[in-house]
Amino acid sequence: MTILENVYKSDCKFFRGDLPCKPHKEFNVKCNNCNYYSPFEDIILIIKLGALGDVIRTSPLIHKIRKEYPKSAIWWISYSQDVVPNSVEKKLKYTPESMMILQATKFAKINLLIADEKIGFHLLNGKLAPINKLAEHKFLTGLFDDVNKANTKSYLEEIFEICGWQFEGEEYILDYTSSIEWKINNNGKKIIGLNTGCGDRWVSRLWYDENWIELINRLKAKGYHPLLLGGKQEDEKNKYFAEKTSAEYIGYYPLQDFISLVDKCDLIVSAVTMGMHIAMGLKKPLVLMNNIFNKYEFEMYGRGEIIEPENKCQCFFSATCTNKEYKCMDSLSVDMIYNSIIKNIS
pLDDT in tens for each of the 346 residues of the chain? 454 556 788 888 888 777 888 889 999 998 888 899 888 888 888 989 878 899 999 999 999 999 999 999 999 999 988 999 999 988 989 888 888 777 778 776 555 455 677 888 887 777 888 988 999 999 999 888 889 999 999 999 999 999 999 999 999 999 999 999 999 999 999 999 999 988 777 677 889 999 999 999 999 999 999 999 999 999 999 999 999 999 999 999 999 999 999 999 999 999 999 999 999 999 999 999 998 899 999 999 999 999 999 988 877 777 777 777 888 888 999 999 999 999 999 7
The CA distance from 210 to 203, in Å, is 16
In this predicted structure, what is the pLDDT of residue 102? Answer: 78
The CA distance from 231 to 253, in Å, is 7
In this predicted structure, what is the pLDDT of residue 1? Answer: 45
In this predicted structure, what is the pLDDT of residue 137? Answer: 93
304: CB partners within 8 A, 6+ apart: 267, 285, 286, 287, 288, 340, 344
Task: Give the pairing of strands 127-130 and 121-124.
Answer: antiparallel
Helix or strand or coil: residue 160?
helix
Q: 220-225: long-range contacts (C-beta < 8 A, 24 or more apart)?
A: 220/245, 220/246, 220/247, 222/342, 223/189, 224/189, 224/190, 224/191, 224/192, 224/341, 224/345, 225/184, 225/185, 225/186, 225/187, 225/189, 225/190, 225/191, 225/192
In this predicted structure, what is the pLDDT of residue 112? Answer: 45
55 burial type by CB count under 10 A (0-12 exposed, 13-18 middle, 19+ buried):
buried
The dihedral formed by the CA atoms of 268, 269, 272 and 278, expressed in degrees to the nearest 10: -10
